[in-house]
Amino acid sequence: DAGVIQSPRHEVTEMGQEVTLRCKPISGHNSLFWYRQTMMRGLELLIYFNNNVPIDDSGMPEDRFSAKMPNASFSTLKIQPSEPRDSAVYFCASSLMGQATYEQYFGPGTRLTVT
């Protein structure tokens, strides 16, 4: 299995531009998570999907952030408009909920820089 796939790996954009991050979870997994990692705030859960349905989006910082999961094999995290404070590494993770463990498998991350 290729693991969780994220694209792009690096994104540099100017303030005000729209940014779309993409994630392909591990085949067969039914849960998907978007995290943001910064030095100041550590690893923060932004939103969590189960069976393609958003379960908890309380971590989404504001309306500029939106996430979708149109099918079991694809999810996007969109920031519009982007701001310099959005600069961070964004991780996608997937899991097979319903098992005895909650192990999450993380992708390699997307490093976003907003200038």
Partner 1 sequence: QQQVKQSPQSLIVQKGGISIINCAYENTAFDYFPWYQQFPGKGPALLIAIRPDVSEKKEGRFTISFNKSAKQFSLHIMDSQPGDSATYFCAANTGNQFYFGTGTSLTVIP
**Binding footprint of partner 1 on the chain (CB under 8 A):** 4, 33, 42-43, 45, 48, 50, 55-56, 91, 93, 101-109
Whether residue 109 contacts residue 35, with contact meaning beta carbons closer than 8 Å, is answered with no
Beta carbon nearer to partner 1, 9 or 15 = 9
Residue 29 C-beta: closest distance to partner 1, Å: 14
Beta carbon nearer to partner 1, 45 or 72 = 45
DSSP string, the chain: ----EEE-SEEEE-TT--EEEEEEPPTT--EEEEEEEETTTEEEEEEEEETTEEEE-TT--STTEEEEEEETTEEEEEESS--GGG-EEEEEEEE-BTBS----EE---EEEEE-
Beta carbon nearer to partner 1, 75 or 109 = 109
Beta carbon nearer to partner 1, 57 or 73 = 57
Residue 62 C-beta: closest distance to partner 1, Å: 19
Residue 9 C-beta: closest distance to partner 1, Å: 9
